[in-house]
């Protein structure tokens, strides 16, 4: 009886630590398109007006940031970030995507909390 009680206590303790977890991505044509890191990069570009400064703020290389922006622009089919002599800026389409992502991510987080509550 003591062993059964101990096992039940251990199981309850482990269950209290269980948590449902999952990353949230928006996909486009079956490929990951927009996730939290990419949204952060877009937001940093908005704040800094520069891909280079955004990359520095995120401790990533300029090339990695530029490649990410280029990949998003190409996948979307129209620019999300426009660059020129005065720096870089987000397009209205990028702003709409960020808002849609944040809304969907919040719903995903709420779902994950409910799922964890049922464990």
Contact (Cβ atoms closer than 8 angstroms) between residue 18 and residue 116 = yes
Residue 2 pLDDT grade (very low, low, confident, very high; cuts 50, 70, 90): low
Second CATH level (architecture) for the domain 25-117:
Orthogonal Bundle (1.10)
Q: How far apart are CA 91 and CA 42, in angstroms?
A: 10
- The tokens describing 12, both together, are 């309850």
Average the pLDDT over 37-59 and give the result: 97
Q: pLDDT band at 116, cuts 50/70/90?
A: confident
Tell me the pLDDT tens digit for each residue of 64-104.
999 999 999 999 999 999 999 999 999 999 999 999 999 99
> Poorest-confidence range of 19-23, 26-30, 35-39?
19-23
Cβ-based neighbour number of residue 70 at 10 Å: 12
Could you state, in order of their start, the residue ranges of all structural domains in the chain? 25-117
Helix (H/G/I), strand (E/B), else coil: 59: coil
| Token couple for 26 | 């928006």
């Amino acid at each position: 009886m003591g062993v059964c009680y101990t096992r039940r206590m251990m199981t309850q303790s482990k269950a209290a630590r269980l948590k449902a977890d999952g990353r949230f991505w928006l996909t486009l044509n079956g490929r990951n398109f927009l996730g939290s890191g990419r949204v952060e990069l877009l937001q940093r570009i908005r704040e800094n007006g520069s891909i280079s400064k955004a990359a520095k703020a995120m401790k990533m290389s300029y090339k990695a940031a530029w490649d990410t922006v280029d990949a998003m622009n190409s996948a979307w089919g129209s620019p999300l970030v426009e660059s020129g002599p005065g720096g870089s800026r987000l397009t209205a389409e990028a702003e709409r995507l960020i808002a849609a992502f944040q809304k969907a991510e919040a719903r995903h987080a709420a779902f994950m909390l409910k799922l964890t509550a049922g464990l």
